[in-house]
Amino acid sequence: MRPVAAEITTIDNRTSVGHSFWLSPRNGWQQQPAPGQFVMVALRRPPTGFSREVCDAVPMSVAGWEPGRLRLTVKDLGPTTKALLACRPGDTLTVTGPLGHGFSLDAQRPLLMGGGVGAPPLLFLAQQLAARGVEPVTLLGGATGDEIFHRDEFPGTVEIATDDGSAGHHGFITDLLDGRSPDRLYSCGPEPMLVKALAWALANGVPAELCLERYMACGVGLCGVCTIDRDLVCQDGPVLSSERLAQSAEFGKVVREAGGIVRHTPA
């Protein structure tokens, strides 16, 4: 999978913490992405006021696709994403992908749950399910109502939870799982949220597919930083099944950061 140069053509879905942009590659995409897959994105040159360090590649989930264009959604999480948010239409990025394994599309009563920047890959999934005649139910959560990406773009039913109560349910998004009976749960977001999603799915006998957010330096299985147990999230994931994660000794407990530094998360 070789990097391609892609021009930013459109910027939309602005929130208080980021926005989306559509990219058009000069020579076309090598293959159509599946929902849940990701790409490695790098700045070809730093915007004015930024150092060369922001040009390191970062993984980003695919938020949408149509022939000739790919959509990404960026949240301000550090120097590189801040530099990406400073880009304008006409700027060119380097994109490698699609990479990894995505979501299945075989659910008939799907429940989608996205926290924070976990919403974009679920938007792509929801649109693909709707195109198959399946109406998804989506739960979206964020710190505030202004920080929920794509809240008005999801097909089907959407329910919202916010930490500050400014939109929807005042509390955790996982509170909205009670009383549900889907035939599959799809989720993406912070790992503590995914841990609760897994526990709910196992307790209720609901198959689940969880899209993990792990630090990646290469995206192609060389650096090993995204390891979980014996799997590489970049190649074996980022979407992993509830059956797989139920056997994990590291999910929700151990993460690897830049340089491979291991950090144990609170129980």
186 lies in some domain: yes
Please give the structure tokens belonging to residue 80: 């590189």
In a shared domain, residues 172 and 194: yes
Note the pLDDT of residue 127.
Answer: 97
Predicted local distance difference test score (pLDDT) of residue 180: 96
The residue among 41, 76, 99 that closes a domain is 99
Q: From start to end of the chain, where are the E strands?
A: 4-15, 18-25, 38-43, 58-66, 69-75, 92-99, 110-115, 137-142, 157-162, 169-170, 184-188, 208-211, 227-228, 231-232, 239-241, 254-256, 262-264
Show the low-confidence residues of the chain (pLDDT under 50).
none
Which of 99, 122, 139 is at the close of a domain? 99
Residue 54 lies in a domain: yes
CATH of the domain at 32: 2.40.30.10
Same domain (yes/no): 69, 143: no
Tens of pLDDT, residue by residue over 217-261, are 888 888 888 899 999 999 999 999 999 999 999 999 987 776 656
Does residue 105 fall inside a structural domain?
Answer: no
Q: What is the pLDDT of residue 200?
A: 98
Among 99, 126, 161, residue at a domain's last position: 99
Report the pLDDT value the prediction gives residue 190, as an integer from 0 to 100. 92
pTM here? Answer: 0.94
- Residue 46 is assigned to a structural domain of this protein: yes
Residue 171, pLDDT score: 96
Q: Does residue 150 share a domain with residue 46?
A: no
8 A C-beta contact, residue 150 and residue 138: no
CATH for 212:
3.40.50.80
Same domain for 131 and 222, yes or no, is yes
Q: Which domain holds residue 45?
A: 4-99
Give 24-38 as a DSSP string: EESS--SS---TT-E
Q: Looking at the structure, do residues 163 and 38 belong to the same domain, yes or no?
A: no
Is the domain of 48 the same as that of 13? Answer: yes
pLDDT for 214 equals 85
